[in-house]
Structure 1
Amino acid sequence: VSTQPTIWLRAEGKAFERRTPLTPTAAASLADAGISVIVERSEVRTYTDADYASVGCSLVEAGSWESAPMHAYILGLKELPESTQPLHHRHIYFAHAFKGQAGWKELLLRFQRGGGALYDLEYLVDSAGDRVAAFGHWAGFAGAAVASLAWSVRHSEELPDFAPLTAYPDKRALIEHSHHQLSNCPAVPKAIVIGAGGRCGRGAAELFRELDVDLTLWDLEETRDGGPFEQILEYDIFVNCVFVSTRIPPFLTSELLARPRRLSIICDVSCDPSGDLNPLPIYNHCTTFSNPILRMGESENPLGLIAIDHLPSLLPKESSEDFSNQLLPHLLKLEAPEEGVWAGARRKYEQALKEL
Structure 2
Amino acid sequence: MPFPTLLGLLREGRTPPDRRVALTPKKCVELQDTYPGLRVRVQPSPHRAFADQEYRDLGIEVSEDMAGCEVLLGVKEVPVSELIANKAYLFFSHTIKKQPRNRELLQAVLNKHITLIDYELLTNAAGERVVAFGHWAGIVGAYNGLLTYGRKHGLYQLKPAWQCVDMEDMQEEFFKVKHLPPIKIAVTGTGRVGRGAVEVLGRMGIRRVSVYDYLYLNFSEPVYTQLGSSDYNRRRDGRVWDTANFHHEPAAYESAFAKFIPVTDLLIACAYWHPAAPRLFSESDTRQPDFKLNTIADVTCDVNGSIPLTKRSSTIEEPAFDCNPSTGALEPPYSRAENITLMAVDNLPCELPRNASRDFSRQLLDQALPPLMNGDPAGVLARATIAAAGQLCPRFAYLRDYVA
**Under TM normalisation by the shorter chain, which class is it?**
0.7 to 0.9
Give the RMSD, CA atoms, in angstroms. Answer: 2.8
1:305 is displaced (CA, Å) by 1.7
For 1:1-48, what per-residue CA distance to the aligned partner results, in whole angstroms no more than 9, with x for missing partners?
A: x83243211112453632222011211122221222111112332222
Q: In 2, distance between residues paired with 1:205 and 1:93?
A: 28
Larger displacement relative to structure 2 (265-274 or 286-295): 265-274
Q: Report the Cα offset of residue 83 of structure 1.
A: 5.6
Are 1:341 and 2:380 counterparts? yes
- 1:171/1:256 Cα in 2 relative to 1: closer, same or farther (>3 Å)? same
Q: Aligned match of 2:232 in 198, 223, 226?
A: 223
Q: How far apart are 1:245 and its partner, in Å?
A: 5.2
Q: Which amino acid aligns with 1:286?
A: S
SS in 2 for 1:304: strand
The one-letter code matched in structure 1 to 2:232 is: T
Q: Hey, what does 1:37 align to over in structure 2?
A: 40
| Alignment pair present for 1:273 and 2:303 | yes
CA contact (8 A) 2:80 2:108 kept: no
What is the Cα deviation at residue 128 of structure 1? 0.8
CA contact (8 A) 1:108 1:353 kept: no
Name which of 289, 295, 315 aligns with 2:352. Answer: 315
**Secondary structure of the corresponding residue to residue 12 of structure 2:** coil
Q: Please, which moves more after superposition, 339-348 or 90-99?
A: 339-348
Aligned runs of 1:202-281 on 2, under 5 Å?
Answer: 202-211=195-204, 212=206, 213-225=222-234, 226-227=254-255, 229-234=257-262, 235-244=264-273, 247-260=276-289, 261-273=291-303, 278-281=305-308
Note the C-alpha offset of 1:105: 2.9
Structure 1: give runs of 5+ residues left out of the alignment: none
Partner of 1:286: 313
Give deviations 1:227-271, integer Å, cap 9, x for gaps.
262234331211111124563111233222333322122122222
SS at match of 2:267: strand
* Alpha-carbon distance change, 152 to 41 in structure 1, aligned in 2, over 3 angstroms: same
SS at match of 1:191: strand
- Is 1:126 the equivalent of 2:124? yes
Preserved contact between residue 147 and residue 157 of structure 2 (Cα < 8 Å): no
CA deviations 1:146-205 (Å, max 9, x no partner) are 100110011116x56966x5242332432331431x3455x143211111x211111111
Equivalent residue letter for 2:258: E
The 5 Å alignment of 1:1-356 reads 3-13=3-13, 14-15=15-16, 17-32=18-33, 33=35, 34-61=37-64, 65=66, 68-69=67-68, 72-81=70-79, 88-156=86-154, 159=156, 166-180=162-176, 182-185=177-180, 187-195=181-189, 197-211=190-204, 212=206, 213-225=222-234, 226-227=254-255, 229-234=257-262, 235-244=264-273, 247-260=276-289, 261-273=291-303, 278-298=305-325, 299-329=336-366, 330-335=368-373, 336=375, 339-346=378-385, 350=393, 351-355=395-399, 356=401
Report deviation, 1:339: 4.8
Rounded Cα–Cα distance in structure 1 between residues aligned with 2:365 and 2:301? 27
User: C-alpha separation between the residues in 2 aligned to 1:162 and 1:174?
Assistant: 8
C-alpha distance 80-113 of structure 1, shift in aligned 2 (>3 A): same
Q: 1:284 to 1:328 in 2, by over 3 A?
A: same
Aligned length: 342
Unaligned runs of 5+ in 2: 207-221, 235-253, 326-335
Q: Contact 1:38 / 1:59 at 8 angstroms: preserved in 2?
A: yes
Q: Which stretch shifts more, 78-87 or 303-312?
A: 78-87
Report how far residue 326 of structure 1 moved: 1.2
Matched AA of 1:221: S
Paired with 2:80 and 2:307, the residues of 1 have a C-alpha distance of 27
Residues 337 and 354 of structure 1: is their aligned pair in 2 closer, same or farther, counting only changes over 3 Å?
A: farther
- Deviation at residue 294 of structure 1 after TM alignment: 2.4
1:344 corresponds to which letter in structure 2? R
CA separation of 1:267 and 1:52: change in aligned 2, threshold 3 A: same
> Relative to structure 2, which stretch is displaced further, 128-137 or 91-100?
91-100
Q: TM-score, normalised by structure 2?
A: 0.76
Aligned twin of 2:333: none
In the superposition, relative to structure 1, how do residues 288 and 240 fare at CA in structure 2: closer, same or farther (>3 Å)?
A: same
Mapped to 2, the partners of 1:127 and 1:324 lie a distance apart of: 21
Taking a change above 3 Å as real, the CA distance of residues 114 and 3 of structure 1, as seen in their structure-2 partners, is: same
Alpha-carbon distance in structure 2 between the residues aligned to 1:272 and 1:6 = 38
Whole-Å separation in 2 of the counterparts to 1:256 and 1:44: 43
Deviation at 1:90, TM superposition (A): 2.4
Q: Which moved more, 1:136-145 or 1:329-338?
A: 329-338
Shift of 1:338: 7.2
CA spacing shift, 1:287–1:325, aligned 2, 3 Å = same
Cα distance between partner residues in 2 of 1:242 and 1:78: 22
Q: 1:48 to 1:161 in 2, by over 3 A?
A: closer
Q: Distance in 1 between matches of 2:182 and 2:92?
A: 36
Q: Provide the C-alpha distance between the structure 2 equivalents of 1:175 and 1:161, rounded to a whole number of angstroms.
A: 10
Task: Tell me: CA distance 1:264–1:112, structure 2 relative to 1, closer, same or farther (3 Å).
Answer: same
